[in-house]
Amino acid sequence: MKKITLLLLINLSIATLSLNAQLDMAFISNFSAISTNSCNRLNWTIENNRGVSRFEVEKSTNGKDFKFIAVLIATEKFGIENYAYADTTIGTDTTMYRLRILTKSQYGSFYSRIILVRSKMATDNDIRIIGNPVMDKLFFNYNSTNVQQTDIKIYSLAGKIVFNQKISSFKGINLITIPLRSGFAPGMYVIEINNDTVSQTAKFVKQ
């Protein structure tokens, strides 16, 4: 009887060590999200990136029933790595997200904590798409309150960044033209403009 009890304790100890090793191997930190005018942007950091195979993004509107919405393959980087995902298919005021982290080891997978995002759908979006739907070029204008550096990103509806460029904005109305290379498949996209003071988004359709 003592031998059986000892074996059970040993097995329990091994299982506990394995679980701790799994969590240490791919510890997730800084899991957060912000809401822009037309998408929720998720960001997270993995402390030991080489131990991760992929991430499955899940969302829920009630905190109980989570739905799979996307998968992100982990990079090959060693050590700390940062990840981001944009959910452009938001339709409710409050959305909850969690990540299923799949490891490269025998320990399988585990879940992140759940985060809550409140939508900030704005009615005063300053981005104006010219000629929407668009063909081979995207024309738009936006208002900038200062002379400053501005990040322009375009997301597919799957949340993938398909265009990323930094430009210099001048004070007032800025007219921008972006050539849409052959990699832009027909469909809906979200353009996002970020500077030091404000984030603006708008949707457009590529024909």
pLDDT at position 45: 92
**Cα(184)–Cα(180) distance, integer angstroms:** 6
**Cα(37)–Cα(201) distance, integer angstroms:** 6
- Give the pair of three-digit tokens for residue 106: 């025998």
Strands 115-118 and 109-111: what pairing?
Answer: unpaired
- Give 138: exposed, middle or buried? Use CB within 10 Å, 0-12, 13-18, 19+: buried
| Residue-by-residue pLDDT tens, the chain, 207 positions | 544 544 444 344 434 434 444 444 457 878 888 887 678 889 999 988 988 999 999 998 877 789 999 999 999 998 899 999 999 876 666 788 999 999 887 668 889 888 888 765 444 447 888 888 898 899 998 888 788 889 999 998 888 889 999 998 887 778 888 999 877 889 999 999 987 667 788 889 998
- Side by side, the strands of the sheet bearing 187-194 are 161-169, 148-156, 187-194, 199-206
- Give the pair of three-digit tokens for residue 85: 């995902």
Architecture of domain 128-206: Sandwich (2.60)
**Two domains, one topology: 2-118 and 128-206:** yes
> CB–CB of 203/141 below 8 Å?
no
In sequence order, what are the residues at sequence separation of 6 or more whose Cβ sits closer than 8 angstroms to the Cβ of residue 65?
A: none
* Whether CATH 3.90.1580.10 fits 2-118: no
pTM exceeds cut of 0.85: no
- Give the pair of three-digit tokens for residue 68: 């799979």
pLDDT at position 120: 59
Spell out the domain ranges in the chain: 2-118, 128-206
DSSP class of residue 134?
Answer: B
